[in-house]
Structure 1
Amino acid sequence: MTRTMETCATPEYEYGPECHPALLAQKWIPHERARVGSVRRFVRDTALDWRAAAEVADIAELLASEVVTNALVHGGRDAPAASSVRVSVTRDGELMTVAVRDRCPLPPHRREPGSLESSGRGLAIVAALAYAWGWAPHHLGKSVWFQLVAWPAEAGFPGAPDASTVRCTE
Structure 2
Amino acid sequence: MTASTTSPTRHPRFTRTLPRAAESAKAARGLICAALAAWAIDDLAEDAALVVSELVGNAVEHTACHLIKVTVTRTSPETVRVAVVDKSRTTPARRTPGDDEVGGRGLLVVDALTTRWGTDPLNFGKRVWGDLTRQPAG
Task: Name which of 98, 120, 129 aligns with 1:145.
Answer: 129
Higher relative contact order (CA 8 A, sep 6+): 1
SS of the equivalent of 1:113 reads coil
Partner of 1:20: 10
Partner of 1:40: 29
Calculate the aligned-residue CA RMSD, in Å: 1.7
Residue by residue over 1:113-139, the C-alpha shift from the partner in whole angstroms, topping out at 9 and shown as x without a partner, is 111111100000111110110001101
Task: Name which of 59, 62, 84 aligns with 1:71.
Answer: 59
Q: Mark the runs of 5 or more structure 2 residues left unpaired by the alignment.
A: 1-6
Does 2:73 correspond to 1:85? no
Residue by residue over 1:53-105, the C-alpha shift from the partner in whole angstroms, topping out at 9 and shown as x without a partner, is 43x100000010001100111122xx3xxx31000111021210011000100
SS of the equivalent of 1:155 reads coil
Aligned partners of 2:45 and 2:59: how far apart in 1?
Answer: 21
SS of the equivalent of 1:96 reads strand
Q: Mark the runs of 5 or more structure 1 residues left unpaired by the alignment.
A: 1-14, 157-170
Partner of 1:98: 82
Identity %: 34
Aligned partners of 2:117 and 2:86: how far apart in 1?
Answer: 16
More strand by share: 2
TM-score where L is the length of structure 1: 0.71
Aligned length: 131
TM-score where L is the length of structure 2: 0.87
Moved over 6 A (4+): none
Aligned partners of 1:70 and 1:84: how far apart in 2?
Answer: 13
Aligned partners of 1:31 and 1:63: how far apart in 2?
Answer: 17
User: Considering only CA atoms, is the larger Rg found in Structure 1 or Structure 2?
Assistant: 1
Aligned partners of 2:88 and 2:32: how far apart in 1?
Answer: 22
Cα offset, 1:141, TM superposition: 0.5
Residue by residue over 1:9-62, the C-alpha shift from the partner in whole angstroms, topping out at 9 and shown as x without a partner, is xxxxxx64xx321x11001001222221111122122212211143x1000000
